[in-house]
Amino acid sequence: MSDLTNIARPYARAAFDFAVEQNALEAWLQMLAFAAEVANNDQVGVYLNANSTADKQAGLFIQVCGEQLNEHGQNLIKVMAENHRLLALPAVLTTFAALKAEFEQEIDVTVVSATTLTSAQKDKLTAALSQRLARKVKLNCSEDPAVVSGLLIKAGDMVIDGSIRGKLDRLATALQS
């Protein structure tokens, strides 16, 4: 996967820079998401791995994507086809989305709690995390009864374990030391 990430980085960066220049980040994100889904299709993958020419690969891809790709999106597909990189489109999407989030100063935060959070709790948590992280926060909430009480918060590399389960685990480790 790291090979595809390295391959995808220059394409994602070029698409991102162009999208910023054209003020079309969301449109490019949608185009890349659709193209990545097409690249993930098993039948398309078999065709892309076959020894077909770059023009045929790009033509098929553009035909399948139809109106989902604008002229500039089609040009990206053609360039990637010429370099036999169409299978890297999902990695291009991932890298593009990360660049977009960084540009817009957004971060996805995963919150795990024992029970469902109310909208007031979510609002308060969003405000506190936005202030602490100095970014716009998108909460992804889930429930896990094993948390017992409290919250487990993951934002990028940062993990805040305020759960009773986490405190009990830390206490058990301290007692065993």
How far is Cα 127 from Cα 122, in angstroms, rounded to an integer? Answer: 9
User: Can you list the alpha helix ranges (DSSP code H) found in 41-88?
Assistant: 42-49, 54-65, 71-82
Total number of domains in the chain: 2
Question: How does pLDDT run across 71-111, given as a tens digit for each residue?
Answer: 888 888 888 888 888 888 889 899 999 888 888 888 889 99
* pLDDT for res 107: 84
Average pLDDT, integer, range 52-65: 78
Domain of 157 in residue numbering reads as: 105-176
Does 97 share its domain with 109? no
The structure tokens listed for 91 are 């990695």
CATH number of 97's domain: 1.10.520.20
pLDDT surpasses 60 at 1: no
Angle at 73 between CA 72 and CA 79, to 5 degrees: 90
Does 133 share its domain with 152? yes
Q: Which of 4-8, 46-50, 120-124, 155-159 has the lowest mean pLDDT?
A: 46-50
Does 110 share its domain with 97? no
CATH number of 162's domain: 3.40.30
Question: How does pLDDT run across 125-168, given as a tens digit for each residue?
Answer: 999 988 988 888 889 899 988 887 888 899 878 888 888 888 88
pLDDT surpasses 70 at 51: no
Final residue before a domain boundary, out of 40, 73, 102: 102
Final residue before a domain boundary, out of 102, 132, 149: 102
Does 53 share its domain with 131? no
Does 60 share its domain with 81? yes
Predicted TM-score (pTM) of the model is 0.66
Does 33 share its domain with 94? yes
